[in-house]
Amino acid sequence: MNKSLAIPPNKRQIFTEPLGYLISGTRKDTIPRVVKFLKGISSEFNIFIVGDIVTQDFLSDDFLKTLVKICIIDGKTKREKIIINFEGIFDKIIEFKNPVGIIHKDSWSIIRQSINSEKKTLIKIIEGEEDLLVIPLVMEILVKKKVKNFIIYGQPPITDSKIKIDEGIVLVEVTKKIKKKISNIIKTMNILS
């Protein structure tokens, strides 16, 4: 995609609902469940992380940090700065700007190149936020029969929508079905120049 996309104000709720399987609970509760799930996968798989807290949890776990292919962070959680120790973990670090509520047009090619690279990559948003970058990540990952691809991100508790959504970790397996769902979400977004 060579255009930037923005969330229409009247469609914000769509973007708060989990895109995949929600493992609800606190960080302390959810990480062991994610480890158990991933250890149970018998085929080859890749892990892509979006969000600072989930990245911090994965990189501080000896088993999980070996699985990560790409992490996308913005150095903040709940608008507060967060320090993540990623020294010696990534082969490549890419920094760029992605305004709040926007998927910047450059994110598509940066994510595509990172997926196609053999290098373990950290994508750091130096201005703006990373939350919406799950969307280009889903669309740029190829669906392969022999390799499973999982995008994992944190889910804050949502209490002000039609449906109450618990806090936890969302596990999205990239399939043709989820790509179609994301494609439909993209159609609801405003195209910017």
> Looking at residue 48, what is its pLDDT?
98
Cα dihedral 75, 182, 137, 189, rounded to 10, equals -60
What is the pairing mode between strands 121-128 and 92-98? parallel
Residue 55: pLDDT band with limits 50, 70, 90? very high
> Looking at residue 22, what is its pLDDT?
96
Percent of the chain with pLDDT over 70: 99
Distance CA 168, CA 88 (A): 28
pLDDT digits over 44-54, tens only? 999 999 999 99
pLDDT digits over 159-191, tens only? 776 778 899 999 999 999 999 999 999 999 999
- Is residue 37 pLDDT above 70, yes or no? yes
Distance CA 77, CA 84 (A): 11
pLDDT digits over 61-119, tens only? 999 999 999 999 998 887 788 888 888 999 999 999 999 999 999 999 999 999 999 99
Distance CA 48, CA 153 (A): 9
Query: Number of structural domains, the chain?
Result: 1
Residue 12: pLDDT band with limits 50, 70, 90? confident
Angstrom distances, CA of residue 23 to CA of 26, 29, 36, 137, 167: 9, 9, 12, 20, 8
> Looking at residue 13, what is its pLDDT?
78
What is the pairing mode between strands 4-6 and 190-192? antiparallel
Q: Which domain holds residue 34?
A: 4-192
Residue 110 token pair: 């940066």
